[in-house]
A = this chain, B = another copy of it.
Amino acid sequence: MYKKKKILLFDLLNKCKIRYDKKSTKNLIIESAESISSSNTNFIAVFHSLKYLDFLKKTKACTVLLNNNLLKYLPKKKNYVLSENPLIDFAKILNFFYPNSYYSKIDYKKLLETEIKKKYKYIKFGINFYLENDVKIGRNVFIGNNVTIKKGCVIGNNVIIGSNVIIENSIICDDVHICDNSVIGKKGFGFKFENNTCVRIPHIGKVIINKGCEIGSNCVIDRGSISNTILGENTFVDNLVQIAHNVVIGKKCILASQVGIAGSTHIGNNVIIGGQAGISGHLTIGNNVKIGGKSGVTNDIEDNKVVMGYPAKSFRDFLKNSK
């Protein structure tokens, strides 16, 4: 979906209007930008938090954007770009390589119904189906009315998609059921303010919904910014649930209605989350955790714990407190 563009680093930084330390920067050929963990040779990546130190040590990126405080963690001989606001600057660089990835637009080029019928013989679809180019769809797929599927998506076998569903930048695996009015793969809620101007963070990641999952009605699952938003096999999601960018959920989890998971939180396998519970961003929730309805989770949770409350604590403490 996204194209590589060869450009000299100095040209790139100038085009993006980035202020950087020129003395320490080497003028390499850059082909693209990605996360520090997935970047390839000739890529530029950003390093902005010690959380990603392990990735920094192994990154293939030919140069790394960072600020002065983090410079000491850089492996020797690795090239770098010093800037004061690496995250904002990296957003501008992503915008250069992946234009249009900070909005959610259609491309106004749909397949005709006859083309769809010829190319996708083993699917059924309702009225008013809007399908862009370059979409793979498996066999025995049922699609409702007024569905929009944008370019580059992959839909597996035996998938059922309800009416009014919108899917972009997503991989939907076999046996998944997505109910009416849900929005899958929209760009996430990411932006930074710089001198009173809003810089939107491009979202170049995907949503990956693995085999056997079910998504309720009126849900929103945002695609990742640089990495992906992932639901593990056989995870069940009820109605009106929000799953933010870069969230990773394990297998066989159950998310009841109106649950909200903030960005970049990772959830293990067999986790049960009660209705209206919310989980803050950037947390790690272990396997087999049970989170009571309406809980507000603000800290990591270890495997096998049962928590409830706001802020969430052990179920025993919750009961004690509530007396």
Question: A239 — which chain B residues lie within 8 A by C-beta?
Answer: 183, 186, 189, 220, 222, 242
Shortest A267–chain B CB gap in Å is 16
Q: How far is the CA of A191 from the CA of B186 in the complex (A)?
A: 28
Asked if A257 lies at the interface with its beta carbon under 8 angstroms from chain B, I say: yes
Taking a contact as CB atoms under 8 Å apart, the answer to whether A189 and B256 are in contact is yes
Question: Which residue of the partner chain B has the closest CB to A200?
Answer: B214
A85 within 8 A of B: no
**Chain A 37-79 residues near chain B, CB threshold 8 A:** none
Of A15-23, A25-33, A104-112, A114-122, the segment with at least 4 beta carbons within 8 Å of chain B is A104-112
Collect the chain B residues with CB atoms within 8 Å of residue A142's CB. 105
Q: Are B177 and A103 in contact (CB under 8 A)?
A: yes
- A218: chain B residues at CB < 8 Å are 181, 183, 218-220, 240
Q: Which residues of B contact A99 (CB under 8 A)?
A: none
Given known pairs A236-B189, A239-B242, A257-B244, the reply for A126 and B144 (CB within 8 Å) is no
* Inter-chain contact A240/B238, CB cutoff 8 Å: no
Q: Which of B124, B234, B294 contacts A310 (CB 8 A)?
A: B294
Cα distance A148–B110 in the bound complex, in angstroms: 19
A276→B262 CA distance, assembly (Å):
10
Q: Which of A110, A191, A256, A294 has the most CB of B within 10 A?
A: A294
Q: Which of A5-13, A86-94, A157-165, A224-232 contacts B (4 or more CB under 8 A)?
A: A157-165
Asked if residues B293 and A278 are in contact (CB atoms below 8 Å), the reply is yes
A291 CB → nearest B CB, Å? 13
A257 near B189: Cβ-Cβ < 8 Å: yes
Contact B256 A275 (CB under 8 A): no
A262 near B278: Cβ-Cβ < 8 Å: no
Interface size class on chain A is 35 or more
Q: How far is the CB of A180 from chain B (nearest CB, A)?
A: 5
**Of B103, B127, B179, B193, the contact of A183 (CB 8 Å cutoff):** B179
Q: Is A322 an interface residue (CB 8 A)?
A: yes
A212, B189: Cβ atoms under 8 Å? Answer: no
Given known pairs A108-B124, A216-B189, the reply for A258 and B278 (CB within 8 Å) is: yes
CA distance A275 to B262 in the complex (A): 8
Q: Enumerate A154-196 residues with CB–CB distance to B below 8 Å.
A: 160, 162-164, 166, 177, 179-181, 183, 186, 189, 191, 193
Q: How far is the CB of A272 from chain B (nearest CB, A)?
A: 11
Q: Which of B164, B236, B252 contacts A166 (CB 8 A)?
A: B164
Ranked 8 nearest A-B pairs via Cβ: A294-B296, A220-B239, A183-B217, A242-B257, A189-B238, A276-B278, A217-B220, A180-B183
A-B contact pairs, 18 of them (CB 8 A): A104-B160, A104-B162, A126-B148, A128-B128, A145-B148, A146-B164, A163-B166, A164-B166, A166-B181, A181-B181, A183-B217, A186-B217, A193-B252, A217-B220, A218-B220, A244-B257, A262-B275, A280-B293
